[in-house]
Structure 1
Amino acid sequence: MSHPRLTKASPKPPGITMLQTLLLISLLAVRSLALDVQVPESPLVVLFGMDAVLNCTFSGGVPVFNLSELSIFWQVADTQRSVHSYWNQQDQLLYQEERFVNRTSLFPAHLATGNASLLLRRVQVADEGIYTCFVRVQNYSKAALVMQVAAPYSKPLVTWEAAANPRPGDLVALTCVAYGGYPEAQVLWQDASGHNLTENVTISPIANEQGLFTIKSVLTVVLEPNSTYSCRLTNPLLGDEGHAYVTISAQGMVFPPLALWVTVGLAVCLLGLLVALAAVCHRKIKESCEEMRAEEEAKELEEAKELEEAKACFMHWQKW
């Protein structure tokens, strides 16, 4: 006679206690009250002299808030200096850094929707940097963004200095100049074959009062016949900004046949003239010498004659 098999019942899983439920609700409530401030992750590139919008939005916190509870602070991250401040439903610019005066504003109509963006007018090179957006609505949070300034350069201009008639083998200094750009540009020299010319190159960036650069690059080359050189300018933020080139026709010491015969003929004529002139001079000198000799002989004869006459007179006087 068989007996039914007895099995052990499995224990029931423990249920969620009231305390755990309350803790979960509290955690969700805290998370819902957390303030989330967001700014662009990529750097903001702004053209020199133009207006820029530094985007900053916030969400979370209380679903509905009064603007009297909202505070917004924009600061330069490295110096902690005030760019723009807002609380008590109005701008608070007492401690605003001097260079930002009359150049900043928020968007009042969009504050209630979570827009804390900043408008910065007439961007200058000195404005480049990291900006921090602080927002407080009961809770507090912040985020930082990078703003970079760019200015296009003028079209490059290539000039060269050398002798009036350069010849192969001469040293020539080529100068490439571009004005009014930012940041410092990269300069690439190439020959007619596209080969990079990196030796004997100097680059001199000079910044003006506004921080904009004048780029001057000098390339020293040994000329070859009909040489072409190009200067290419690249702005790190704006990319390729143009190039310029120059072709120098260096002539060797080669004479065409006609010019050679003309030169030889002139040389023969000149030599003939020199020989004729030497002959004439020789004859003139010879004639002058003969005339002087004849005059001297005549003078000697005259003196001898006078002496003989004197002698004769003296003898005649003795006889008396």
Structure 2
Amino acid sequence: IQMLLLPSPLMEVYVPEMPVVALHGGDVTLNCSFSVATPFNLSDLTVFWQLTDTKRSVHGYREGHDQLVDQAESFANRTSLFPAQLGLGNTSLLLSRVVVADEGSYTCFVRVQDYGSAALLLQVAASYSKPVVTLEPESNLRPGDAVALTCVAYGGYPQADVIWQDGGGRNLTDNITTSLVANEKGLFSMTSVLTVVLEPNSTYSCRLINPLLGEEGYASVTITGQNIAFPPVALWVTIGLAVCLLVLLIALAAVCRRKIKESCEEARREGKRGWKRRGGVEGKKEGERRL
């Protein structure tokens, strides 16, 4: 029975321990280097980059030339080494026009006489648009109504952390529902909905934080007393009471006017009767004097 004996991995290969963050649409360098005890010829150098999980080929170099026959189609025309640095032990990979699908673990394999390998993690990030907060419904609001506040931001990656607060800084994040929709590029549109019980003169803010970029987006909405319509039922009750009061005042004014008129007429009649009585008495006295 023949056994294939492979050399033990004696070569040290170095890659970043922390994840490498690349901006969507930009270029990123996946750093990899190695050290050997003796000088070597580039024709003896083999470099192979592959996806750790799927083993798909990302970039190959052997016998002094790039070897891209087996390269995965998604990486075509987007990868390159640094030829002038290879002799110095620099086998870093330049990945251009980064997309969300590039995210994952990459293994750097190097061989001269001995061989070694190491893996690093690539994370992709994209900035979100400035968030916008809207109110639903926008009209016919009454104190005590349940109102949905919606915070929307577009074109970002990965999922952002969302923090809702009221005007006093109280965290309202427990009352939210957040959804993600990816576009054809894998970038997210984030929609976060906060449901609150309406109070006049209240401020609500939405803050989005991109965990990879550390970027924050902020938007807020203030609901003032002017935004809250008078309750329809109370409005009609008030109108009805006002009409009733007006009718009552008109009726009262009419009654008072009639009473005053009647009083005046009665006073005139009393005046006439008194004048007639005085006239009769005086005439009788005058006649007695003449007799």
| Shared fold, TM over 0.5 | yes
CA distance in structure 2 between the partners assigned to 1:252 and 1:180 by the alignment? 36
Q: Deviations over 1:112-160 (max 9, x none)?
A: 1111010000011000111000001011111111111111101110000
Q: Which amino acid aligns with 2:246?
A: V
Question: Secondary structure at 1:113's aligned position in 2?
Answer: coil
Q: Deviations over 1:14-37 (max 9, x none)?
A: xxxxxxxxxxxxxxxx99x94211
* Correspondence for 2:35 among 59, 75, 83: 59
- Structure 1: segments with no counterpart, 5+ residues: 1-29, 255-259, 277-320
Q: Which amino acid aligns with 1:87?
A: R
Question: Secondary structure at 1:239's aligned position in 2?
Answer: coil
More relative contact order, 1 or 2 (CA 8 Å, 6+ apart): 2
Mapped pair 1:43 → 2:19: yes
Shift of 1:235: 1.1
Q: How does 1:216-227 map to 2 (within 5 A)?
A: 216-227=191-202
Q: How does 1:1-320 map to 2 (within 5 A)?
A: 34-61=10-37, 63-162=38-137, 164-250=139-225, 251=228, 264=242, 268-269=246-247
CA distance in structure 2 between the partners assigned to 1:114 and 1:92 by the alignment? 19
Residue 286 (structure 2) aligns with = none
Larger CA Rg, structure 1 vs 2: 1
Return closer, same or farther for 1:197/1:89 CA change in 2, 3 Å cut-off: same
Return closer, same or farther for 1:226/1:94 CA change in 2, 3 Å cut-off: same
How does the TM-score come out when normalised to structure 1? 0.69
Give identity over the alignment, percent: 62
Task: Tell whether the 8 Å contact from 1:162 to 1:171 is kept in structure 2 after alignment.
Answer: no
Task: Tell whether the 8 Å contact from 2:132 to 2:152 is kept in structure 1 after alignment.
Answer: yes
Which range moves more in the overlay, 195-204 or 105-114?
Answer: 195-204
CA distance in structure 2 between the partners assigned to 1:107 and 1:153 by the alignment? 33
How does the TM-score come out when normalised to structure 2? 0.75
CA distance in structure 2 between the partners assigned to 1:270 and 1:121 by the alignment? 84
Shift of 1:56: 0.6
Q: Which amino acid aligns with 1:143?
A: A
Q: Deviations over 1:267-299 (max 9, x none)?
A: 5259969xx9xxxxxxxxxxxxxxxxxxxxxxx
CA distance in structure 2 between the partners assigned to 1:99 and 1:270 by the alignment? 85
Displaced runs of 4+ in structure 1, greater than 4 A? 251-254, 269-273
Return closer, same or farther for 1:52/1:270 CA change in 2, 3 Å cut-off: farther
Q: How many residues align?
A: 237
Q: Which amino acid aligns with 2:32?
A: C
- Structure 2: segments with no counterpart, 5+ residues: 1-6, 232-237, 255-291
